[in-house]
Amino acid sequence: MKKIECYIRPERLEKVKKALFALGVKGMSITDAKGHGHQGGIKLTGRAGDYVVEWIDKLKLELVVSETMPLEKIMDIIVENAATGKPGDGKIFVLPVEEAIRIRTRETGEGIL
Ligand SMILES: Nc1ncnc2c1ncn2[C@@H]1O[C@H](COP(=O)(O)OP(=O)(O)OP(=O)(O)O)[C@@H](O)[C@H]1O
Ligand SMILES: [Mg+2]
């Protein structure tokens, strides 16, 4: 199993979610996140002069998928639907998952996904 953690623009959630569901993804989690990449924030100009917003609102999407799901395709779909081409489009991280259990039935393994 693999876990995909990605940070996306909140306004892209609907598009990304629909595309993932269409591919057969079932379970996923979202969390409000704040962060920045290598620019370290955004510089804005206000009446009092320039200031930097260091923590920018993003959404963190987490999904664990079985080895039978096409990982490359999932990543492509996230990229296609999350991208605007401007800085701050986000990042995708893929992690190995050792075990999963459905608490209600105590079933384990990728069949529970
Ligand atoms: N190395 C990282 N670890 C964890 N989260 C990260 C990391 N890099 C970026 N993020 C998360 O992803 C969000 C979007 O990052 P962002 O797209 O700005 O990355 P970037 O490297 O600056 O690329 P770009 O130049 O396109 O802006 C950040 O706000 C943060 O929440
Ligand atoms: Mg950035």
104 CA from centroid of ligand 1 (Å): 36
What is the mean pLDDT of the segment spanning 69-91? 97
Q: What ligand 1 atom has the least distance to the C-alpha of 56?
A: 29
40 vs 59: CA distance, rounded Å: 17
Instruction: Show the ligand 1 pocket: residues with CB < 6 angstroms.
Output: 7, 33, 35-39, 56, 58, 87-91
10 CA from centroid of ligand 2 (Å): 15
Q: What is the pLDDT of residue 13?
A: 98
Contact 64, 100 (CB under 8 A): yes
Structure tokens given for 99: 């075990």
Residue 109: how many CA atoms within 13 Å on its side-chain side? 3
Q: What is the mean pLDDT of the chain?
A: 96
Structure tokens given for 101: 């259990």
pTM of the model: 0.94
CATH topology of domain 2-112: Alpha-Beta Plaits (3.30.70)
50 vs 5: CA distance, rounded Å: 33
Kindly report, residue by residue over 31-57, the tens digit of the pLDDT: 999 999 999 999 999 998 999 999 999
% of the chain surpassing 90 pLDDT: 96
